[in-house]
């Protein structure tokens, strides 16, 4: 039927990024979706970003991915989270018009050179002599390829649960994929069952907004994409309300009717996004739980009730939703449900997201055991890049934990594994002061340009922005003010007066002094974008802490640079504990650093390994 270099199975957030990356790197690419209405679909929360997740989106954008560009096009409300804390954990989050988000991403794919999109169900991957050769569809069409990216989301043997009712289904009522799951098992993949869920939707004109707390967006919108200096958005409000003791009482009375507690669900759900019955069961002392009511789009009246996913029956849902302030009369249009699906154990993947035992088979997104649109898109981008590099005969593109949250995400999955749907969090990143949202372009755009994904326009914009920041940092160091110049200004903003002349650079180190305020005593300043200003201010205020973290990164890099031979048999290394030998032989880490992060490998084992490598080096001269 056709011949491609890369075929992507699935057109969710992972599949879209994978296909676009491969095509933009110059490779003929095909993306398959069982239903083109599922392209970049948001079956759960209609938002992009959030704590830790916003970092991923910024990094995807810096590398030349599409998620940041698309949410900027379709944003309905934007907020910077965690602003009361340090800049390392500031996380951008935006409400999306979910229908427009789908349409804009679909249009982008349709217009992308080197990329074809087809509504077809992939049922088998043709593997010969351990290598991917092609993909077979439901209609027995055969598409030849050199690499495939599996990005099936929650569709693989998907099953919906609502009370005692359960039935085969993909998310949002779409058809599930069953044959592909069976054929992947035949190829040797060890699949397991995970679970997630989504709350009910209800009509906007049936809420009592006067009983809820209004949540508006930020006055100044920070774009996700570095290609945008600002955004002009007619923002819409979200609303905050809470469950209460009556809500909890109804749910407790019906625990036995929940699919979660009734034994029907075998899959493992996300610890950090539990269903409402799970919350009430695990935290019986809590008198209320927070809920956000969020719009699904500008051209629909449906609202999303965040924080209330459940697998309880519809009649119970009607009862407990109506006990909540502001929701007493809501008209539910779509009941909440849980969904169970097949996914891979990510310990079977290499760091480039290629399946260990099949050359050219890459995996991404929820198929890898993660949760969330952002985690999926980040993995899709990396899998698409590496599939493209694979067919070009080039080395894989791998980001380590000190370079990006994407590196943390992938390394956690393929090195540590996960027993539940994995979610990125800022606490997972050891070097988060260096891996901030604001400097994602500084960290990654050069890398994206070198592999051929970042466009010339984006790269030149990045270079100009970087030079602007460097020149202004230099000017701030060279420009000094004395007491006569600055004391009146400093007293006015609640800062202490000067004893002698200081540079504007040192003055900015004071917590209460901000760059934009300095205009009063610094008339010669250049005109800068707000993004450049943010970068300058963070780098100056946290200069000492950043240097400390960079020294830790240097130590980390030393272990990462100690490469381990792919054919090393750890059974031959004396003094390694049995568990360490088994784990190391199972995962075959690429470096001593990666080996040190494997569960079951102790610091003592790493010392044994280092001694062995040194002896081996000396013997081989």
Name the domain boundary from 324, 339, 354: 339
385-396 per-position pLDDT tens digit? 999 999 999 999
DSSP class of residue 349?
A: B
User: Which CATH number covers residue 133?
Assistant: 3.50.50.60
Give me the torsion for CA of 548, 552, 555, 560, rounded to 10°: -140
Q: Are 280 and 251 in contact (CB under 8 A)?
A: yes
- 């799970």: which residue's tokens? 278
Q: Are 425 and 534 in contact (CB under 8 A)?
A: no
In a domain, 460, yes or no: no
pLDDT of 597: 94
Is the CB of residue 568 less than 8 Å from the CB of residue 536? Answer: no
CA distance 45 to 523: 46
Q: How many CA atoms lie within 13 A of 555 on its CB side?
A: 7
> Which CATH number fits the domain that encloses residue 509?
1.10.10.1800
Residue ranges in the chain whose pLDDT is less than 70? 1, 621
pLDDT of residue 621: 65
- Rounded to whole angstroms, the Cα distance separating 418 from 7 reads 27
- Separation of alpha carbons 167 and 159, rounded Å: 5
pTM of the model: 0.96
Shared domain for 301 and 317, answered yes or no, is yes
State whether 333 and 373 are in the same domain: no
Residues 6+ away with beta carbon under 8 Å from 329: 206, 208, 322
SS3 call for 593: helix
SS3 content of the chain, % helix, strand, coil (to 5): 40, 20, 40
Last residue of a domain, one of 290, 317, 339: 339
End-to-end CA distance of the chain: 54
Asked whether residue 241 is domain-assigned, the answer is: yes
Phi, psi of 498 (to 5 degrees): -90, 155
Same structural domain for residues 399 and 514?
no
Same domain, 47 and 81: yes
Contacts 24+ apart (CB under 8 A), 577-581: 577/602, 577/604, 577/605, 580/605
Do 529 and 405 share a domain, yes or no?
no
Does residue 103 belong to any structural domain of this protein?
A: yes
User: Are residues 407 and 63 in contact, defined by beta-carbon separation less than 8 angstroms?
Assistant: no
Transcribe 353-380 into DSSP letters. Answer: SBBTTSBTEEE-GGGGTB-SHHHHHHHH
Residue 456 lies in a domain: no
Please report whether residue 409 resides in a domain: yes
Asked if residue 20 belongs to a domain, the reply is yes
Q: Residue 193 in contact with residue 181, Cβ under 8 Å? A: no
Q: What is the pLDDT of residues 131-172, one digit of tens each?
A: 999 999 999 999 999 999 999 999 999 999 999 999 999 999
DSSP summary character for residue 529: -
- pLDDT number for residue 260: 82
pLDDT of residue 303: 98
CB 9 within 8 A of CB 360: no
Last residue of a domain, one of 418, 450, 482: 450
Taking a C-beta distance cutoff of 8 angstroms, is the pair 351, 594 a contact? yes
φ/ψ of 138, rounded to 5, equals -60, -30
Hey, what long-range contacts does 483-486 have (CB within 8 A, 24 or more apart)? 485/521, 486/521
C-alpha to C-alpha distance for 290 and 32, rounded to whole angstroms:
39
* Domains in the chain, number: 4
| Bridge partners of residue 148, in order along the sequence | 7, 361
**In a domain? residue 408:** yes
CATH number of residue 239's parent domain: 2.40.30.260
Tokens of 130: 């351990």
- For 134-154, b/e burial (b = at least 16 CB within 10 A) is bbbbeeeeebebbbbbbbbbb
Structural domain harbouring 529: 466-548
Q: How is 420-482 classified by DSSP, letter by letter? A: S-B---GGG-TTTTTS-STTHHHHHHHHHHHTT-S-HHHHHHHHHHHHHHHHHHHHHHH-EE-
Q: Dihedral, CA atoms, 83, 85, 88, 90, nearest 10 degrees?
A: -20
Domain membership flag for residue 307: yes
Question: For position 274, what pLDDT does the model report?
Answer: 86
């Amino acid at each position: 039927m056709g011949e491609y270099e890369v075929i992507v199975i699935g057109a969710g957030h992972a599949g879209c990024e994978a296909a676009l990356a491969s095509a933009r790197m110059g490779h003929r690419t095909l993306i398959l979706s069982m239903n083109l209405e599922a392209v970049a679909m948001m079956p759960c929360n209609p938002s992009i970003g959030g704590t830790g997740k916003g970092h991923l989106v910024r990094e995807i954008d810096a590398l030349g991915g599409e998620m940041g560009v698309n949410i900027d096009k379709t944003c309905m409300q934007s907020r910077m989270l965690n602003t009361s804390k340090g800049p390392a954990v500031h996380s951008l989050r935006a409400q999306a018009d979910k229908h427009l988000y789908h349409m804009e991403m679909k249009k982008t794919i349709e217009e992308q050179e080197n990329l074809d999109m087809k509504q077809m169900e992939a049922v088998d991957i043709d593997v010969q002599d351990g290598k991917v050769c092609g993909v077979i569809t439901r209609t027995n069409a055969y598409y030849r390829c050199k690499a495939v990216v599996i990005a099936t989301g929650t569709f693989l043997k998907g099953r919906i649960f609502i009370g005692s009712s359960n039935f085969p289904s993909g998310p949002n009522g779409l058809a599930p994929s069953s044959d592909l799951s069976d054929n992947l098992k035949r190829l040797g993949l060890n699949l397991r069952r995970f679970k997630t869920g989504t709350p009910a939707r209800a009509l906007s004109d049936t809420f009592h907004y006067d009983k809820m707390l209004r949540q508006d967006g930020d006055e100044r919108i920070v774009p996700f994409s570095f290609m945008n200096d600002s955004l002009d958005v007619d923002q819409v409000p979200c609303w905050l309300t809470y469950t209460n003791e009556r809500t909890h009482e109804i749910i407790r009375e019906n625990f036995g009717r929940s699919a979660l507690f009734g034994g029907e669900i075998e899959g493992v759900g996300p610890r950090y996004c539990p269903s409402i019955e799970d919350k009430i069961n695990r935290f019986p002392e809590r008198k209320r739980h927070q809920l956000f009511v969020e719009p699904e789009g500008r051209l629909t009246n449906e609202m999303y009730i965040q924080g209330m996913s459940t697998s309880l029956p519809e009649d119970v849902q009607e009862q407990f939703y109506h006990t909540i302030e502001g929701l007493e009369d809501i008209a539910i249009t779509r009941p909440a449900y849980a969904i169970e699906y097949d996914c891979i154990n990510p310990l079977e993947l290499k760091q480039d997201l290629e399946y260990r035992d099949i050359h050219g088979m890459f995996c991404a997104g929820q198929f890898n055991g993660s949760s969330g649109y952002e985690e999926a898109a980040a993995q899709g981008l990396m899998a698409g890049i590496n599939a493209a590099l694979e067919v070009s005969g080039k080395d894989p593109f791998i980001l380590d934990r000190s370079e990006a949250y994407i590196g943390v995400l992938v390394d956690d999955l393929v090195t540590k594994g996960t027993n539940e749907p994995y979610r990125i969090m800022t606490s997972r990143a050891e070097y988060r002061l260096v891996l901030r949202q604001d400097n994602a372009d500084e960290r990654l755009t050069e890398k994206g340009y070198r592999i051929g994904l970042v466009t010339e326009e984006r790269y030149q914009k990045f270079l100009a922005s970087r030079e602007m920041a460097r020149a202004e940092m230099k000017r701030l160091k060279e420009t000094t003010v004395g007491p006569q110049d600055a004391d009146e200004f400093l007293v006015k903003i609640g800062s202490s007066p000067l004893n002698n002349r200081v540079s504007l650079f040192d003055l900015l180190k004071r917590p209460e002094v901000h760059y934009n305020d300095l205009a009063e005593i610094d008339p010669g300043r250049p005109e800068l974008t707000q993004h450049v200003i943010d970068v300058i201010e963070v780098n100056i205020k946290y200069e000492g802490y950043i240097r400390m973290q960079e020294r830790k990164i240097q130590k980390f890099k030393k272990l990462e640079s100690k490469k381990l031979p792919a054919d090393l048999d750890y059974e031959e290394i004396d003094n390694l504990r049995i568990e360490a030998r088994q784990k190391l032989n199972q995962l075959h880490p690429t470096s001593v650093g990666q080996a040190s992060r494997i569960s079951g490998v102790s610091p003592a084992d790493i010392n044994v390994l280092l001694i062995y490598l040194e002896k081996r080096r000396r013997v081989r001269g």
